[in-house]
Amino acid sequence: MKRLAPALALVLCAAIPALADKVATPIPIGIAVGQTSNVALFGQEQVNGAKIAEERLNAAGGVNGTKITLVFQDTAGDEAGAVNAFQNLINRDKVVAIIGPTLSQQAFAANPIAERAKTPVVGPSNTAKGVPEIGEFIGRISAPMTQVAPYSVKQAMKLNPDIKRVAVLYAQNDAFSSSETVTFQDAVKNLGLETVTVQKFQTTDNDFTTQVTAVLGAKADLVIISGLAADSGNLVKQLRQLGYKGLIVGGNGLNSPNMFPVCGALCSDILVAQAYSPATVDKNPVNKDFATAFEAAYKKGPAQFSAQAYTAVQVVTEALAKIEKETGKKIADFELAELREMLNKSLRTGSYMTPIGEISIQPSGEVEQKDFYVSKIVMNPDGKTGSFVLVS
Ligand code: MET
């Protein structure tokens, strides 16, 4: 008996943390996005959108009367930062799910950690091919660029039916940019256009003379860019400064007003396909509530990354409420590990009416979204501020 005691103690000790791991209240939801580094140009918008969701959803009762609380962990811009944030949220903050990371490049590194810990991930902005396939616990509400990108090329052809020669540029050190450019190059081919040059750059570059010279030399009449915000903004600026006059289509990295200060007045007329439009407020009351609260808080209208972050928080909150409805048991009475598994399933059932329209998450984790838009950047006379104006 005496000899058994240490073994018994060991078993008990091992069991205690597991028993202690009930879901906390308010219910913690992790937000792992890039709040610093060059990725903060997107991350700040995500934080803003998520905070509005926390406020609006809690004002509406949270999860059947229990409040949610967002736990923010800055991933910065690289893989290590995302891995670290995920570990903290899963093990220390004991969140029910993680919303993040900002970049697909980071998702490929950090999501496997959540997968092993059986913690659901809802990607609010990952658009590269292959993200949901990382695992069973990985989903997203951001439509992949394979679905969204072709719209902007079609729109460019509408605006200028004479387009024939296309220059494609992409950031080769970024997973989403490398994935997105394949989609764009396929679209160019399928639409009967010719790719006359493919130019690579790095997300850390700020001198694009070589690439711009190649574009001008190839006599392109359409330029398509896949990169992050600062690099793409500088590339646009240098294209215009060195005399490129044709249309420019930007990928998902150019879909942020935080890019406006980078290319300034020269951002004007870039075409961007979007998974969100503030213009739907009249027919979408959820978007109206979101956009009104956002505008009141930040004195500017919301853009895609904010709307998607809101959507991700909303989807997790509603999926939690569904669990309570189905089991008749409060979330706080579940053990964390069990709840995380149930939440992963709940996320994938039914549909959600969100600021980005009606969506659902397929069993694979891929989002199903109905409405996409193409907007054109219009800069204000101050050359610093501007807006995305719907063209289709
Ligand atoms: N869509 C990007 C990605 O999947 C992130 C935001 S825009 C650069 O990496």
237 and 385 part of one domain: yes
313 and 327 part of one domain: yes
pLDDT at 51 over 50: yes
32 and 133 part of one domain: yes
- How many angstroms separate the CA atoms of 13 and 27, rounded? 26
**pLDDT given at position 392:** 78
Residue 337 CA to its chain's centroid (Å): 26
Note whether residue 126 is domain-resident: yes
pLDDT at 285 over 80: yes
Note whether residue 169 is domain-resident: yes
Q: Kindly report which listed range (14-28, 110-124, 164-178) carries the lowest average pLDDT score.
A: 14-28
pTM for the whole structure = 0.94
Note whether residue 194 is domain-resident: yes
- How many angstroms separate the CA atoms of 65 and 262, rounded? 44
| Residue 270: band (very low, low, confident or very high) from pLDDT cuts 50, 70, 90 | very high
Q: Which residues contact 259 (CB under 8 A, 6 or more apart)?
A: 41, 229, 230, 232, 233, 267
Domains identified in the chain, total number: 2
208-229 pLDDT, tens per residue?
A: 999 999 999 999 999 999 999 9
Going from the Cα of 305 to the center of ligand 1, the distance in angstroms, rounded, reads 9
User: How many residues are recorded in the chain?
Assistant: 392
- Which DSSP string do the residues of 257-313 spell out, in sequence order? GGGHHHHGGGGTT-EEEES--GGGGGT-HHHHHHHHHHHHHHSS---HHHHHHHHHH
- How many angstroms separate the CA atoms of 248 and 267, rounded? 10
Q: Is the CB of 252 under 6 A from ligand 1?
A: yes
Q: Give CA torsion, residues 262, 263, 268, 274, to 10 deg.
A: -50
Atom of ligand 1 nearest to the CA of 39: 8
- How many angstroms separate the CA atoms of 301 and 150, rounded? 26
Q: Which domain holds residue 252?
A: 147-274+373-390
Going from the Cα of 233 to the center of ligand 1, the distance in angstroms, rounded, reads 15
Going from the Cα of 6 to the center of ligand 1, the distance in angstroms, rounded, reads 52
32 and 89 part of one domain: yes
Note whether residue 366 is domain-resident: no
What is the percentage of the chain residues whose pLDDT exceeds 70? 95
Note whether residue 367 is domain-resident: no
Note whether residue 279 is domain-resident: no
Provide the CATH number for the domain around residue 382.
3.40.50.2300
- Across 380-390, average pLDDT: 95
**pLDDT given at position 44:** 97
45 and 174 part of one domain: no
Ligand 1 mutation target, pool 33, 37, 42, 170, most atoms within 8 A of CB: 42
- Across 146-167, average pLDDT: 95
59-75 pLDDT, tens per residue?
A: 999 999 999 999 999 99
**pLDDT given at position 224:** 98
173 and 24 part of one domain: no
Query: For 148, how many CA atoms within 13 A lie in the half-sphere containing its CB?
Result: 33
pLDDT at 162 over 90: yes
By C-alpha distance, which of 317, 308, 30, 363 is closest to 142? 308
152 and 289 part of one domain: no
355 and 377 part of one domain: no
314 and 386 part of one domain: no
Q: Is the CB of 226 under 6 A from ligand 1?
A: no
**pLDDT given at position 353:** 98
By C-alpha distance, which of 222, 226, 252, 212 is closest to 374? 252
- How many angstroms separate the CA atoms of 323 and 339, rounded? 9
Largest CA distance in the chain: 89
**pLDDT given at position 14:** 47
pLDDT at 326 over 80: yes
Q: Determine phi and psi for 180, rounding to 5 degrees.
A: -65, -40
pLDDT at 247 over 70: yes
